[in-house]
Amino acid sequence: MYISLARKYRPKRFADVAVQSHVSNTLKGAIARGRVAHGYLLCGPRGVGKTTLARVLAMALNCENKTDDGEPCGVCSSCTRIWTGSTSLDVVEIDAASNRGVDDARDLRERAMYAPSGDNHYKVYIVDEAHMLTREAWNALLKVLEEPPPRVVFVFATTEPQKIAQAAAPVLSRLQRFDFKRIGPADVRARLSAVLATENVEATPDALAMLARAADGSMRDALSLTDQTLSLGEGVLTAERVREALGLIAEDEYLAIYDLISAREAGAIFPAVARLVDAGADLGAFLGGLADIFRAALALALGDESGGLAELSDRTRESLLERAGSLTAGDLLRMLSAITELEPRFRRSGQQQMLVETMLVRFALMDRTVSLEEVLRGLGPDGGGSEDSDGRGAPRATQPRIPAPTSAPARPSRESSPAAPAAPATAAPSAAATALPLLSVAALRERWEAILERLRADGRMTLVASLEHATPVEVSPSGEITFELAPDLGHLEQPIMHGAKELLAAIGAQLEGATRMKVRVPLSSPVREGATRRLSAEAVKAERLSSLRRRDPSLDAAVRELDLELMD
Ligand SMILES: [Zn+2]
């Protein structure tokens, strides 16, 4: 009969659970000193050894030949019975996912009252998926833990301790809590390597890396995936065999997508994704794999030639090295964060293919971050740009990877004026680093409520109250916003300008490109006009515009939509 690797190599001693040594050493020490608690809470992701350690603890408590430092022998009849999970009077394993009602908890409590099978024995209850227990069940358990019977130990294992905190805070205070760590790929590889060596199976480093990545931090999964691969063939365990057995997406597929993005071949994204879907690829796994590739490329771009790439095959690492510089660190960061943002939405979506396609097309079309070197190259052969007497230092337009400055959207008027300063290219990376909509009057009005909401959340109540009477009426090509106050409310200009910094920050969280702002007070009546001695040309223009707009609603709409400015 074939015994699975996960079962065959399940640890029998605390020392075997080296990855969680912070937990196993503490428990071993408690056994050695005879200071075992009545209740433990073992928290951590699935497959990291929670139940395994609970069993080793039960073995150590009941082993007749345990060592002085607290290790169970692993071979006596008690150890063997507990380790194999066969019937043992002293260990009760409960899956809370299927035994969560109050009746079971009462039953548990009554059974806990019974003494262990012998004078030297401990009764150990291992409750798996403990977060599934009901509040009533916890209440029943609390009574047991308040007056614990001698030599009875409860071990609760859970992937979601916060749920227990909500349902059973008083119980938590009576448990010793241990947090298990996710098992890193290097630890998984090392363990797989040792197991396969014992099994006399030769495996390539790439194959181990691929298995470790697929296991995603779970040692149990790593071993069962290895089982799955071994059952489908013989000989050396290669990356190719792992990929076929597990239905993984080939790293070449990721590299192909990477190339489409860096070559800006947006149109080729659709057939590429269709090919993946036709091949039965799980698009969620694809997103994860793509993020791994980008992360590795990012590590490379930042000069780390090994650390960030530990989970990749050597071949893919070399392929990425060949592509070095085709996407900058800034580009890679933006794409990585876009993937991270998409993921929670993605799992629930019924339109995964569309989401992946649009994201990749966006990547292929996105404005690229400009590296400092490129900017300097664009400045001329001496790299100084000092010949530019106007000092603007704008790069030559022939640089293909320098995007149009996103802070200055195309507008019909003024844009071509030679007096309009070109946005310096060095500002592009930060401006391009977000995918927010561009600032315009229409966009401002659309997002106005959200902007005010943020100011309210920040406690800027005076500013918000003043802004109730202000309307954004104009956005200049350089990103200066003009607000207009209702007539006769000129006194609000000061509180608004006082909060300009906060307001611009709130706008910046919604829209791209706001730089400055000003407040305009239209002159409402001839009386007032007469009273104001110094009328700037701008104020005159503003007054003309607002009176024109009041007279003609369609003009008003056009001014708003196109962000026009009336010329004399
Ligand atoms: Zn033993």
Ligand 1 centre from 82 Cα, in Å?
9
| Predicted confidence band of residue 159 (pLDDT cuts 50, 70, 90) | very high
Contacts of 144 (CB under 8 A, 6+ apart): 108, 109, 112, 152, 154
229 and 141 together in one domain: no
Ligand 1 centre from 33 Cα, in Å?
18
167 and 18 together in one domain: yes
- Please give the backbone phi and psi of residue 473, each rounded to the nearest 5 degrees, phi first: -120, -15
159 and 270 together in one domain: no
Q: What does the pLDDT read at residue 468? A: 83
Token pair in block for residue 450: 């959200």
Question: Which residues of 252-344 form beta strands (DSSP E)?
Answer: none
Q: Which amino acid is at 226?
A: T
d(CA 309, CA 478): 42
Nearest to 193 by CA among 220, 181, 217, 211: 211
d(CA 231, CA 343): 33
Q: What does the pLDDT read at residue 489? A: 80
Mean pLDDT, residues 374-390: 47
Pairing state between β 480-485 and 470-475? antiparallel
Nearest to 28 by CA among 64, 71, 68: 71
Ligand 1 centre from 100 Cα, in Å?
32
- Strand, helix or coil for residue 48: coil
Ligand 1 centre from 78 Cα, in Å?
6
Mean pLDDT, residues 509-537: 64
17 and 163 together in one domain: yes
Element (H, E) at 19: none
Are 123 and 90 spatial neighbours (Cβ–Cβ below 8 Å)? yes
Are 511 and 451 spatial neighbours (Cβ–Cβ below 8 Å)? no
27 and 156 together in one domain: yes
Residues with CB under 5 A from ligand 1 (ion): 63, 72-73, 76, 79
CATH number at 280 reads: 1.20.272.10
Ligand 1 centre from 74 Cα, in Å?
5
446 and 355 together in one domain: no
* Domain around 284: 251-365
d(CA 470, CA 487): 10
Token pair in block for residue 492: 């609000």
| Cross-strand partners of 430 | none
Are 466 and 446 spatial neighbours (Cβ–Cβ below 8 Å)? no
Ligand 1 centre from 86 Cα, in Å?
15
Mean pLDDT, residues 470-494: 83
| Predicted confidence band of residue 375 (pLDDT cuts 50, 70, 90) | low
Residue 385 lies in a domain: no
Ligand 1 centre from 57 Cα, in Å?
11
Ligand 1 centre from 538 Cα, in Å?
92
Ligand 1 centre from 11 Cα, in Å?
13
550 or 479: whose pLDDT is higher?
479
On the question of pLDDT at 65 being above 80, the answer is yes
448 and 508 together in one domain: yes
Give Dmax (Cα) for the chain.
105
Question: Which residues of 412-538 form beta strands (DSSP E)?
Answer: 470-475, 480-485, 516-520
Token pair in block for residue 134: 């009901």
d(CA 241, CA 230): 9
160 and 143 together in one domain: yes
CATH number at 107 reads: 3.40.50.300
Q: What Rg do the C-alpha atoms of the chain give, in angstroms?
A: 33
Residue 408 lies in a domain: no
Token pair in block for residue 414: 């003024």
Q: What does the pLDDT read at residue 348? A: 84
Sheet with 480-485, side-by-side order of all strands: 470-475, 480-485, 516-520
How far is residue 331 CA from its own chain's centroid? 17
Ligand 1 centre from 152 Cα, in Å?
19
Q: Which of 308, 330, 365 is the last residue of a domain?
A: 365
Token pair in block for residue 552: 């003609």
For 377, other C-beta atoms within 10 Å of its C-beta total 14
d(CA 371, CA 354): 31
Ligand 1 centre from 87 Cα, in Å?
16
Ligand 1 centre from 181 Cα, in Å?
27
Ligand 1 centre from 419 Cα, in Å?
87
Ligand 1 centre from 34 Cα, in Å?
16
Residue 132 lies in a domain: yes
Q: What does the pLDDT read at residue 335? A: 92
108 and 189 together in one domain: no
- Which residue, chain included where needed, has tokens 């104009």? 474
Token pair in block for residue 384: 């100084």
CATH number at 232 reads: 1.10.8.60
Q: What is the pTM of this model?
A: 0.55
Q: What does the pLDDT read at residue 469? A: 82
Residue 64 lies in a domain: yes
Pairing state between β 152-158 and 39-43? parallel
The packing angle between helices 219-230 and 185-198, to 10°, is 40
- Which residue, chain included where needed, has tokens 């791994």? 292
DSSP line for 390-434: T---PPPTT-TTPPPPTTS---SSSTT-TTSPPPPGGGHHHHHTS
Ligand 1 centre from 16 Cα, in Å?
15
Nearest to 130 by CA among 159, 110, 153, 101: 159
Mean pLDDT, residues 38-66: 93
DSSP annotation of 492 reads G
Q: What does the pLDDT read at residue 199? A: 93
Residue 400 lies in a domain: no
Mean pLDDT, residues 290-297: 89
Mean pLDDT of the chain: 78
| Predicted confidence band of residue 549 (pLDDT cuts 50, 70, 90) | low
Mean pLDDT, residues 279-286: 85
Are 36 and 30 spatial neighbours (Cβ–Cβ below 8 Å)? yes
436 or 514: whose pLDDT is higher?
514
Q: Which of 246, 261, 289 is the last residue of a domain?
A: 246
Nearest to 384 by CA among 162, 375, 12: 375
On the question of pLDDT at 407 being above 70, the answer is no
How far is residue 62 CA from its own chain's centroid? 44
Contacts of 259 (CB under 8 A, 6+ apart): 323
DSSP annotation of 249 reads P
Residue 392 lies in a domain: no
Residue 507 lies in a domain: yes
Are 11 and 52 spatial neighbours (Cβ–Cβ below 8 Å)? yes
Ligand 1 centre from 60 Cα, in Å?
7
Are 470 and 543 spatial neighbours (Cβ–Cβ below 8 Å)? no
22 and 121 together in one domain: yes
Total of domains in the chain: 4
- Which residue, chain included where needed, has tokens 């700037």? 536
Are 145 and 37 spatial neighbours (Cβ–Cβ below 8 Å)? no
User: Over the stretch 176-233, which tens digit does the pLDDT of each residue have?
Assistant: 999 999 888 888 999 999 999 999 999 998 899 889 888 888 898 999 999 999 998 8
| Cross-strand partners of 42 | 157, 178
Residue 108 lies in a domain: yes
Are 127 and 99 spatial neighbours (Cβ–Cβ below 8 Å)? no
231 and 304 together in one domain: no
Q: What does the pLDDT read at residue 556? A: 56
Ligand 1 centre from 112 Cα, in Å?
23
Q: Which of 196, 225, 246 is the last residue of a domain?
A: 246
31 and 140 together in one domain: yes
